[in-house]
Structures are given as structure tokens and as C-alpha cells.
Structure 1
Amino acid sequence: MKYVEFNVENNKIEFINSVFGIESVLLNGKTVSKKFSFSGFKHNLNLNSENFILKSKYKQFDKREIQLELLKNGETIEKQIVRADKKQIIYWMLIGTGLGIGAYKLLNLLVETLN
């Protein structure tokens, strides 16, 4: 899912976050950074010999939003806030429920084996 697009000097920087927490940063359509993140990450990229950082911060338990900040040579040039996709929240709830049920069954099996 594409969340945000930044335009810098006729270049397009895109931030994409998958349902499973894989963050990707594209520069003019080419992937320049790809990381797994549960709560946010710093993505470094180089554009015309200048250093850029795209920082993401995901507040999944608070406002359910993703805060994105684009920095150029250490200074903020643009900030954007995007609401998290409802599908992503549902997937994580299902995964958490499944893990909880699995852990419960595993612990019960372990207790029965020990008795």
C-alpha cells in the first residue's frame, strides 16, 4: 500500500508499507530501502550527492497513524501524517489471536506431559 509521496527537485520519493510491516522507500520508482518495522525506521537515501533520511514512526496503539518525516542533510524539509489502513489493523489482530491460541495450546500440552 502506498502511503506517501514526496517530490524533491523533480524526483519522487515514495513510502510504502505492507500489511506485514515491510517498509519500502522508492526513489523514482526504484527501491532504495526495504526494512521490517513494527514501530518505525530510518531509511537513508542519497539524491544528487545529498543525504536524505525518511523517518517513519508508527503509533499502532495510540492514534493508529504513521508519522513520516523527510530530512535533508539533517534538517526537516517535510512532514506528513497518514492514518493506518484498517485492513492492516485487522490482520495484526488475527495474527495476535492466532499466536495467543497457539501458545495456550502448547502450554497446556506441556503441562499435561509433565503431569
Structure 2
Amino acid sequence: MKYAEFNIDSNKIEFLNSVFGIESVLLNGKRISKKFSFSGITHEIKLHARNLILESKYKQFDNKEIKLELKENGVLLKKQFVKIDKKQRFFWFLIAIGLGIALYKLTNLLLEYLYQ
């Protein structure tokens, strides 16, 4: 799912994020970075002689948006805020519930084993 687009000179940088937390960065339609992220990550972009950084930041229980910052040599060039897809939020909610139940059951089994 495409979330954001930055135009630098005559180049297009696109940020995509899947339901499973895989972030991709495309430069003029070609994938240049693909990483897993739960709360944000840094993508390095080589644009001719320029070294750019695209940082994604996501706070799970905050305002439900991804903050994207495009930087060059530590200087902020552009910033965007994009809303998280409702399907993605629901998917992670289900995973959290499933992990909570599994951890609860595992803890109970461990305690039963220890106190036999």
C-alpha cells in the first residue's frame, strides 16, 4: 500500500508499507530499500551524489499515523504524516491478543509444572 511520495528535483521517492510491517522505498519506480519495522526505521537513499535518509516513526498507541522525514546530512528536507490503514491496525490488534493469550497459557503451564 502506497503511503507517501516525495519529489526531489525530477526524482520520485515513494514509501510503501504492508500489513505485515514491511516497509519499501522506491526511487523512480525501482525498489531501493525493503525492511521490517514495528515502530519505524531508517532507509538510506543514494540519489546521484546525494545521500538521503528517509526515517519512518510510528507510535503504536499514539495518534495512529506514520511520521516520515526525508533528510540530507541531518537537515530536514521534507516531512509528511500519513494515517495508518484500518486493516493494518486491526491485524496488529489481533496479533497482540493472540500473543497475550498464548503467553497467559504458557505461564499457567509453567507454573503448574513448577508446583507439582
Whether TM-score is above 0.5 comes out as: yes
Task: State the partner residue of 1:82.
Answer: 82
Whole-angstrom CA distance in 1 between matches of 2:111 and 2:78: 54
Say whether 1:18 aligns with 2:3: no
Say whether 1:49 aligns with 2:44: no
Gap runs ≥5 in structure 2: none
Query: Identity over aligned residues, as a percent?
Result: 64
After TM superposition, the score normalised by the length of structure 2 is 0.91
CA RMSD of superposed structures (Å):
1.3
- The SS at the match of 1:40 is coil
Structure 1 position 59, deviation (Å): 2.1
Gap runs ≥5 in structure 1: none
Tell me whether 59-68 or 102-111 shows the greater mean CA deviation: 102-111
Specify the code of the residue in structure 2 equivalent to 1:60.
Q
Task: State the partner residue of 1:30.
Answer: 30
Whole-angstrom CA distance in 2 between matches of 1:94 and 1:14: 28
Decide whether the 8 Å contact of 1:41 with 1:55 is kept in 2. yes
After TM superposition, the score normalised by the length of structure 1 is 0.92
Whole-angstrom CA distance in 1 between matches of 2:17 and 2:101: 27
Structure 1 position 109, deviation (Å): 2.1
Q: What do residues 56-109 of structure 1 show as CA deviations (whole Å, max 9, x unaligned)?
A: 111221111111111123321111111111111111110011111111122222
Whole-angstrom CA distance in 2 between matches of 1:38 and 1:94: 15
Task: State the partner residue of 1:92.
Answer: 92
